[in-house]
Amino acid sequence: MACGGGGGDTVAGGAIEGLTLPDNMGLVDVDESTANGSVTAGASANVTAAFAASSDYETDEVHAHMWDEATEPLDIINEILTAVSQTRADHFVNTGAYMALVEMVGGDGDQSADTGQSTGGNATELEPWIILSTRASAKAAQIVRFWISQDDDFGDGSPITSTIFGKATVSEEPSASKPYGDFSMNFAMVNDADDSVFQRGRLTTVPVTNGELGFTFMMEDVLGMFGDDTAVTVRTNAAQTAGRAHMSVPDHEGGGNMTVTLAYNQDYFLRSNGTDTELLDRNSLSRNIWGYNLYHAADGNGFSAGDRVDLEGGFPFVYGTAGAREFGWCDYWGIWTSSPDELDNGDTVTRDEDGNSATYTVLKAPGKLVRVTKRDIALADLDGESFEYWDWESGNQYLVTYSHGTTTWTNVALRDQETWEWEDLETPTTMTINDDWWYGFWSMSFGGNVDFIGGQTAVTVREQAFVSSDDTIFNGGTSLTLYSMGDSLRAGINQSQANSGDVYMDEVANPANAYEYTFLKDGRVLQYGGTDVGLATGITPGENSPYHWGMHSGPMTATDPVTLGINDPWEMRNQDTYYFYETGHNEWNQYATLIQTNGTPVEFDDPINFFYTHSTANDADGNADFDGKKVFLTYGGDRNLWGIPGHEVDMDGDGNGDRWYPMFSIADGVVMGPNGDEYVIKAVDMELFMDVSSDAIPSALSTALTEAASLALPTMSAWTDPTTTAKPLINEDPKVVAGVIQ
């Protein structure tokens, strides 16, 4: 059982020491301090043996938790506790209400791999919390109140502005003898329009009884908006080596609620839903890894072997008046703000970091220029790889597999356009591939579009990166001329053109007549004939418009097509480097950054891109299923490695995918990089799974499972209303950003 916390921090006021809450109350978990060693399986490169014990590779914290489908309803407990821990309420006891920006972390396996056509989507999201932490004396309980404002339509298209009110009473923080500590937390979600409570809950520890400790959790859907309620009771022995639980949780398949009982010891985990009972082995684990770091494999360029590869990240800022202060974050991917519609081009913001309060000017442009670098992959490396292919003649979307032994592309499944599920073809069909014809595929493994010219020995994928203001392509100038022959976006697109999809000018057959665009370095705007490319001011495409989600230009080159020897518009796409422009009315189609006082935009490190070929020896579980699988990886800094394909897994046997998982997980110490050997990898966020056991169920565990059903489920009778204290008004800068005190 791993429960973070402990060690009360010295508070800002300096008079009374604060208390912490546990940041994890997993039912059956792992000690994170051991996750880097005994938990991580697979090969480890010899290069790591030379890393110093003090290196980042050896000392970086590893977060690991156990996941089981029976305990999935408890995930919300850890989401709450993880978020609250970022507020550092123990540090700000009796210092008054303050603002904390909490980093919103995705649900990993609960999310699908969203691969839209936009180049955006990776920007940091921070949620403003107001915190008030008080403690009357060093012997009194600590009271932590929090308020969170939210806007959501809950999927039904009816926006609701709500506030989450929370109150935690902490009497004792986690310790070795009481890993949960002693606390209670009540929360309620309130509709701001009418002050009605539509969801409420309570999480509380229970007194130690007969040597057992534990907690209860209850969440009630007051208005029936989200489904059925959840009630959980957990008991463990003092050492947390054995325990049992009784839960009433939503039955998403059958409707209503179902009862689940659990019992476990050091070796086994037994669960039952009243119909099926299954024994799992706690000593046989598989894993899904969600977060990796890269480390320098050798000394050089100011780095030591084992140093973390730290990319220049982002920073927080504030803007607005003293009585209406707003907060934001700027990084490589753009700008995030708590109220995006209130921040306009030319507005002034202030950096909000300890010792750095520089001022910047907001730059908002209607689009972004992206450099595309072509990379080839030999057909021999694609044997057995799957691709998606849209057949324009039939209007069908196929799942296609490539077989290098016969050099064939075979349609094996058809996409159902209503359910969006793949349906296997009773009789797979071989694609006809004509020499010199272009075929466009899509691959999750390679990060998007894959191009193939019939008769060639390789396919092409394209690495994308934003064009920055200090890009050498400007050669010291203030603008860049770009040439286009096909899919050339119009300038000043009117409402009729936007609605009908008439957004491109005619294709140019003669390279001497290529359209000439101008990209302005300072304003980051693409123009044609002196008019901004894309939508005219105030134009929004209708919801049924082909380009409601945004539009891309075709390939553009920085050298004119005649000089390049181009004779056909399609040859523009075959250049080793070209550019395209993305624009539209959506925030993710546009570009936003901050301008320094010297007139230049702030700069951040580009993500690191490279190919990686997986192998059994490199697999964290020794799995051979994806041996030889080649993927295109992007490293964006701490814990952010993208590109490992995801896949849906049917957890409940109903034939539908329930959770998304990475296709494979990479073992610690594997060497990789653009040249193949610059970096080594280490897992820093992982999810562990117990494998099914074929052993006989121990009689003591069977008895404990029966006893679990007798544990009383909590009710809302003990819930206390946290909404009686109004949310304070905060005009000061945030004191904490993503858990870091400013």
Interval 635-669: pLDDT, tens: 988 888 988 988 776 544 444 445 678 889 999 99
Strands of the sheet containing 641-642, edge to edge, are: 608-613, 630-635, 641-642
Residue 39 per-residue DSSP state: I
- How far apart CA 550 and CA 541 sit, in angstroms, is 9
Which whole number is the average pLDDT over 206-216?
89
Percent of the chain with pLDDT over 90: 46
Any domain includes 550: yes
Residue 77 per-residue DSSP state: H
Give the up-direction half-sphere exposure of residue 573: CA atoms within 13 A in the CB hemisphere: 19
Q: Is the pLDDT of residue 356 over 60?
A: yes
For tokens 């990796």, the residue is 292
Q: Is the pLDDT of residue 88 over 90?
A: yes
- How far apart CA 446 and CA 382 sit, in angstroms, is 11
Percent of the chain with pLDDT over 70: 87
Scored b (16 or more CB within 10 A) or e, 722-732 reads bbeeebeebee
Strand partners, 594: 362
- How far apart CA 69 and CA 57 sit, in angstroms, is 32
Residue 163 pLDDT class (50, 70, 90 cuts): very high
Does residue 419 share a domain with residue 351?
no
Any domain includes 230: yes
Among 128, 171, 124, smallest CA distance to 148 is for: 128
DSSP tally for the chain: helices H, then strands E: 5, 43
The count of domains in the chain is: 4
Does residue 445 share a domain with residue 409?
yes
Which whole number is the average pLDDT over 685-714?
92
Does residue 243 share a domain with residue 112?
yes
Q: Is the pLDDT of residue 384 over 90?
A: no
Which whole number is the average pLDDT over 16-28?
81
Does residue 192 share a domain with residue 145?
yes
Domain range for 129 is 68-265+698-741
Work out whether strand 315-319 and strand 257-264 pair parallel, antiparallel, or are unpaired: unpaired
Q: Is 90 left (phi over 0), alpha (psi -120 to 50) or beta?
A: alpha
Residue 129 pLDDT class (50, 70, 90 cuts): very high
Which whole number is the average pLDDT over 55-70?
83
SS3 257: strand
Does residue 112 share a domain with residue 172?
yes
- How far apart CA 682 and CA 309 sit, in angstroms, is 11
The pLDDT value given to residue 532: 97
SS3 499: helix
Does residue 435 share a domain with residue 387?
yes
Does residue 428 share a domain with residue 397?
yes
Tens of pLDDT, residue by residue over 269-310, are: 999 988 889 999 988 888 889 899 999 999 988 899 999 998
How many other CB atoms are there within 10 angstroms of residue 255's CB atom? 10
The pLDDT value given to residue 570: 85
Does residue 189 share a domain with residue 137?
yes
User: CA quadruple 380, 382, 384, 390: dihedral positive or negative?
Assistant: negative
The pLDDT value given to residue 247: 92
- How far apart CA 123 and CA 457 sit, in angstroms, is 37
Does residue 487 share a domain with residue 435?
no
Scored b (16 or more CB within 10 A) or e, 459-486 reads bbbbbbbbbbbeeebbeeeeebebbbbb
**CB distance 483 to 581 below 8 Å:** no
Tens of pLDDT, residue by residue over 387-398, are: 999 998 888 999
Which whole number is the average pLDDT over 83-94?
92
Domain end (from 427, 459, 491): 459
The pLDDT value given to residue 389: 94
Query: Can you spell out the DSSP letters for 655-686?
Result: SS--EEEES--BPTT-EESTTSSSEEEEEEEE
User: CA quadruple 476, 479, 484, 489: dihedral positive or negative?
Assistant: positive
The pLDDT value given to residue 105: 56
Among 46, 61, 642, 63, smallest CA distance to 305 is for: 46
In sequence order, what E strands does 385-478 have?
386-391, 396-403, 408-415, 422-430, 438-443, 448-453, 458-466
Residue 79 pLDDT class (50, 70, 90 cuts): confident
From 300-314, 336-350, 372-386, 406-420, the region with the lowest mean pLDDT: 336-350
The pLDDT value given to residue 237: 86
Does residue 408 share a domain with residue 325?
no
Comparing 191 with 12, the larger pLDDT belongs to: 191
The pLDDT value given to residue 393: 84
The pLDDT value given to residue 206: 93
Residue 716, token pair as written in the block: 């809302």
Any domain includes 301: no
Does residue 190 share a domain with residue 118?
yes
Residue 321, token pair as written in the block: 């008046």
- How far apart CA 437 and CA 409 sit, in angstroms, is 14
Among 379, 400, 388, smallest CA distance to 455 is for: 379
Tens of pLDDT, residue by residue over 466-503, are: 887 777 888 888 899 999 999 999 999 999 999 999 99
pTM: 0.68
Domain end (from 366, 388, 404): 366
Q: Which long-range contacts does 340-345 make (Cβ < 8 Å, 24+ apart)?
A: 340/587, 343/319
The pLDDT value given to residue 526: 96
Does residue 248 share a domain with residue 125?
yes
Comparing 657 with 438, the larger pLDDT belongs to: 438
Q: Which amino acid is at 524?
A: R
- How far apart CA 736 and CA 562 sit, in angstroms, is 56
Any domain includes 652: no
Any domain includes 17: no
Q: Distance of alpha carbon 174 from its chain centroid, rounded?
A: 29
Tens of pLDDT, residue by residue over 552-582, are: 999 999 999 999 999 999 899 889 999 999 9
The pLDDT value given to residue 518: 97
Q: Is the pLDDT of residue 34 over 60?
A: no
The helix, strand and coil proportions of the chain, stated in percent and rounded to the nearest 5, come to: 10, 40, 45
From 321-325, 430-434, 551-555, 689-693, the region with the lowest mean pLDDT: 321-325
